[in-house]
Amino acid sequence: MKMKIYQDEPLLKHCSFKIGGNAEYVYYPETADELIGLIKKFNSEKQEYYVFGNASNVLFPDESLRKSVVFTTEMKDIRLVGNTIIAEAGVTLNTLSAFARDNVLTGLEFAYGIPGTVGGGVYMNAGAYGGQLSDIVINCRAIDSEGEICNLNATELRFGYRHSVLQEKKLILIDSTLNLKSGDKTTIIEQMDTYMSKRKGCQPLNFPSAGSVFKRPQNNYTGALIEKAGLKGMTVGGAMVSEKHAGFIINTGDATAKDVRELIDIIKARVFEQSGVMLECEVCIIENNKNRKL
């Protein structure tokens, strides 16, 4: 099948926040070769580009993004080799954990319900309920800035809290190998159900968002700090600090990226005033001139 390419595509259709202007070009490669071909083309044409998975940890700008955008969500190959799973960048973490469950492998229960992909998950070292991808990822294939394939083992991936080497170097993940253990199917299912119920109980899943906006500070909880600063329910335009989980900013319907950025600035200032803690953004804020690390 021919790779899907869209011109002047509204990015709000493609992200969990439902915010964003258009992108000049949006590409959906289906294979590693197509992805590599695109990166080589961008490099040779000196075109700037972004690569995203499910865009569940991203705030796109309100105005048009003057870069090409690649979504990996059509790269969905997933294979079992013994107790390891090899999954392409666009495999969702839900599909991945369900695949592990169906093959009676334990170690991925925590990822059930994280609305990202393998690519975004490794980039962020996504985690929940005491687990994170770095516990099980043993190897990744990535494309370097020259468009060449490189292999990275767990040490080379330089995982940390919501961090991997992909953030340090401009590396694009192609696929990832995850090492799991044989488990008990009933226990795996129960664990996944428990985590999913916890999510539904404490996260505002009926509103568009990008999950927790801030990284968790050491020895503290972001939601508690924001609540203590009296910011629960605070709004700027259509952006609101969730009443259900103060670590989330939700889009109540017509939020703009500007609203969200303003609310983030207010939260950071008030929490610092109140608790002396400087919050750091987990959400990737995309702007035309820079990637804003707030």
Ligand X SMILES: Cc1cc2nc3c(=O)[nH]c(=O)nc-3n(C[C@H](O)[C@H](O)[C@H](O)COP(=O)(O)OP(=O)(O)OC[C@H]3O[C@@H](n4cnc5c(N)ncnc54)[C@H](O)[C@@H]3O)c2cc1C
User: Is residue 89 a contact point for ligand X (CB under 6 A)?
Assistant: yes
Two tokens, residue 17:
């926040």
Nearest CA to 218 out of 149, 162, 147 is that of: 162
Is residue 69 near ligand X by the rule CB under 6 A? no
210 touches ligand X (CB under 6 A) = yes
Active-site residue 9, yes or no? no
Contact between 188 and ligand X (CB under 6 A)? no
Tell whether residue 257 is a contact of ligand X (CB under 6 A): no
* Site stretch for ligand X (CB under 6 A), options 123-131, 177-185, 186-194, 260-268: 123-131
The reply to whether 27 sits near ligand X by the rule CB under 6 A is no
The SS3 assignment for 190 reads helix
Which H or E run includes 6? strand 4-10
State how far the Cα of 201 lies from the Cα of 115, in Å rounded to an integer: 16
- Edge-to-edge order in the sheet of strand 149-153: 78-81, 84-88, 172-179, 137-143, 149-153
Q: Which is nearer to ligand X, 213 or 225 (CB)?
A: 213
If binding means CB under 6 A, how many residues of this protein chain bind ligand X? Answer: 33
Q: Say if residues 171 and 165 touch (Cβ distance below 8 Å).
A: yes
Which residue has the closest beta carbon to ligand X? 120
Residue 247 makes contact with ligand X by CB under 6 A: no
Structure tokens belonging to residue 240: 């609101």
Could you tell me the CA-to-CA distances from 86 to 62, 66, 71, 276 in Å, in that order?
36, 34, 19, 43
Q: Does 11 bind ligand X (CB under 6 A)?
A: no
Q: Helix %, strand %, coil % for the chain, to 5?
A: 30, 30, 40
If one asks whether residue 68 binds ligand X (CB under 6 A), the answer comes out as no
Which of 26, 55, 236, 241 binds ligand X (CB under 6 A)? It is 55
The stretch near ligand X (CB under 6 A) out of 39-47, 119-127, 223-231, 266-274 is 119-127
- Distance between CA atoms of residues 110 and 99, nearest Å: 13
Report the alpha-carbon distance of residue 292 to residue 60 in Å, rounded: 11
Which lies closer to ligand X via its Cβ, residue 114 or residue 257? Answer: 114
Does residue 166 bind ligand X (CB under 6 A)?
Answer: yes
Please give the radius of gyration of the chain, using alpha carbons only, rounded to the nearest integer: 19
Which of 94, 97, 177, 203 contacts ligand X by CB under 6 A? 203
The secondary element (H helix, E strand) that includes residue 250 is: strand 248-251
Q: Which is nearer to ligand X, 72 or 222 (CB)?
A: 72
242 is catalytic: no
Shortest separation between residue 109's beta carbon and ligand X, angstroms: 12
Kindly state the helix (H) or strand (E) to which residue 118 belongs, with its residue range: helix 118-124
Given the rule CB under 6 A, which of 3-11, 179-187, 201-209, 225-233 is the region that contacts ligand X? 201-209
Q: Using the rule CB under 6 A, is 107 a contact of ligand X? A: no
Residues near ligand X, by CB under 6 A: 16, 50-58, 72, 89, 114-117, 119-121, 123-124, 126-128, 166, 172-173, 203, 205, 209-211, 284
Residues involved in catalysis: 162, 212, 282
